[in-house]
Each structure stands twice: as C-alpha cells, then as structure tokens.
Amino acid sequence: MSSGLKIAVLMGGPSSEREVSLMSGRQVAGALRRLGHNVIELDPDEDGILALLTNRPDVVFIALHGRYGEDGCIQGLLELAHIPYTGSGVLASALAMDKIMAKVVFRSLGIPTPEWVTVTRSDAGVGSPCADDALLQVGLPCVVKPSAQGSTVGVTVVRDAESLADAVHLALSYGDQALIEQFVTGTEITVGVLGDSPARALPTLEIVSKKPTYDWEAKYTPGMSEHIIPARVPEEVRAKCQDLAVRAHTALGCRGFSRVDMIATPSGEVQVLEVNTVPGLTAVSLLPDAARAVGISFEQLVQMAVDGALAVHAGRTVE
C-alpha cells in the first residue's frame, strides 16, 4: 500500500452533477488525509485545469461526475501529462458515459439491456417518425434519458403519448442525443465492481426509494432511500446480477471500480441499464455501502483506487 503521496482530488467542475461531485470529493479528500497523504483539493471550474499541471501530483483522484470528468476528457488530459489517475481510461469512460453506445456494446455481446430508440434534436417530438417508432418498439410506459448525463438528470418516466414530446425536449436540453427506453418493472439493483484483472463483483444492493422514482432527491437526501444488502431476490438472480455486472464492466474496458445499475424482473430476468465509472462517493452513496458489506472500509476503498492508478501507470497501460 502506497502512503505519503501528493494526491490531487478533482471535484466540482461545470457539469450538472457539480454539487454531488463536491460532496464526493470532500469525502475522498478526508479519507486520503486520514491515510496520511498530502491532499490538494482542486475544482477545475474555479481553479482552472492548469492548476493541476502546476501542482504536479503523484496521483489524481477523479471525483468529477458527469461531463468532462466521467466522459474521457480529463482522462485524456492526464494521459498526455503522464499523471496517474484513478478509475477507467479514456475509451471506457467515454463509452460508459454515452448510454447509447454502451447499450450497443452490451447488445453486441449478449448482455441484456432494455429496448431503446435513439432521438436527436432534428427528429424529436410527438408525431415525428422517431416518436412513432419509439412507441411501437418500446411501448408505454417508457423512460426518456439524455444520452450523456448521470444522477437521473433530465430523466422522465413517460406514461402517456401526450407527455413524450416534453420529456424528449427536456432530455435533449442536455445534449444532442437522447434515448427512449423500455420501462422495465422489477427490483432496482446496483452492483459495484472492483479491479480489472480479474474484476470482482461486490454484493447486490437493492435500492428502495421513498419517492415514486429514484431521483436526485431520493439519491442524495439522507433517509429518502434504503439500501438493502443483499438484494431481496433469489440467490440465482443475485448471482446473475453479479455476473452481468462484471461482464458489463469488462465489455466497456473499465478498471479501478465501477457501479452497474440493473433491474431484476419478477420472472428472474435481469436487464442492465448503465455503468457508472465514477460512482458517487458521498455519505449516502451506493458503492461504499456495498464495499462495507464485505469488510472494505471507505478508506480502504479509496486507497485501493490510488494503488490501482499507480499500478496502471507503472505498466503504462494505454486504452
């Protein structure tokens, strides 16, 4: 285990998930200080990205959620600067952040994922061929999402055709593409995955929201959701969830850690929704809870990420 390192924690940034990123980053910074590291907290939106190069840390801990932090952009800069960083590399980050491309990869490798239709700004709206195709292909209810956002930002559950246009316009306000996805009923489960050679799954975690949907408030307000470990599904379904989590993590080329979101249906089928390469690391986040269930403290989880970053850099693994 490495210790006494100069570590820059990147947090905040300009994305719609800025406030969550600040919470994650502060928690990570505190853990790193308790581990004896010299920590620099940097917010690219306030300090500028050049502050990172000026301080020249031994390792960068990426706690940036969403655009620029989770989509391969900051990872590419750090590759060019030859600075070790936590989490997945450029390609895996970009693929996981783009929900449409991730689903294309999943489908090509036989990883089950809900049916979807891609919508662009040029073909949005009820009555358009794309909207008609979506309703024919995925049916109602359906879920409309921006292609490259997290934390349920811009997500709408649509239950009638008249609401589809507004949901699509909201999703497209966050980017050029959105997806209209089949709504799958079942138990909402997330599985953390650690490492890459080989990757291993943490226990299944069932999410029970006190709101109709697991939205921003339910995710980040203490007491608004319950985490149940292991998930209340049959053992064979838990095993299936863990296997699919590792397969999804590996399919996209993830490393370090990730969190894979999925739905287990009452019939025992499992549908993979998405992979988060920079999962939340706040006091109410899912990955740390799952790690604690197998005896991995938050400090240990953070240290594992740092050690993994150094190992990758030493081997000069390039995606």
Most confident of 1-5, 87-91, 170-174, 211-215: 87-91
pTM over 0.95: no
For the record, the structure tokens of 139 come out as: 């049916």
Q: What are phi and psi of 66, to 5 degrees?
A: 80, -155
pLDDT attached to residue 54? 86
Residue 151 bears catalytic tag: yes
Selected catalytic residue, list 196, 261, 289, 308: 261
Is 173 considered catalytic here? no
Name the residue type at position 183. F
Strand segments (E) across 25-176: 38-42, 59-62, 116-120, 142-146, 156-158
For residue 317, the model assigns a pLDDT of: 44
Is 79 considered catalytic here?
Answer: no
- Which of these, 79, 104, 83, 63, lies nearest to 319 by C-alpha position? 79
> 259, 285, 289, 308: which one is catalytic?
259
Among residues 24, 276, 289, 308, which one is catalytic? 276
Helix H or strand E encompassing 45 = helix 44-47
Over residues 49-59, the pLDDT tens digits come to 888 888 899 99
Q: Is residue 280 among the annotated active site residues?
A: yes
For residue 55, indicate whether it is catalytic: no
Query: Which ranges of 82-119 would DSSP assign to H, the alpha helix?
Result: 90-97, 99-108
Q: What is the DSSP letter of 211?
A: S
The residue from 151, 225, 258, 285 that is catalytic is 151
Residue in 26, 181, 220, 308 annotated catalytic: 220
Q: Which is nearest to 284 in space by CA: 185, 205, 213, 230?
A: 205
pLDDT in tens, 97-140: 999 999 999 999 999 999 999 988 776 554 455 666 777 789 99
Spatial separation of the C-alpha atoms in residues 112 and 99, rounded to whole Å: 14
What angle is formed at CA 116 by the lines to CA 253 and CA 245, rounded to 5 degrees?
35
CB 62 within 8 A of CB 74: yes
Q: Please give the Cα distance from 274 to 96 (Å, whole number).
A: 7
Does the annotation mark 276 as catalytic?
yes
Over residues 260-319, the pLDDT tens digits come to 999 999 999 999 999 999 999 987 899 999 999 999 999 999 999 999 999 999 886 433
* Contact status, residue 136 vs residue 116, Cβ threshold 8 Å: no
Q: Which member of 13, 15, 17, 181 is catalytic?
A: 17
Which of 282, 57, 70, 272 lies closest to 186 in space, CA to CA?
Answer: 272
**Of the residues 214, 274, 289, 308, which is catalytic?**
274
The average pLDDT across 32-37 equals 97
Please confirm, yes or no, whether 269 is among the known catalytic residues: no
pLDDT digits (tens, 9 = 90+) for 216-263: 455 555 666 799 999 999 999 999 999 999 999 999 999 999 999 999
Q: How far is CA 83 from the centre of its chain?
A: 23
**Is 17 an active-site residue?**
yes
Sheet of 6-10, strands arranged across: 38-42, 6-10, 59-62
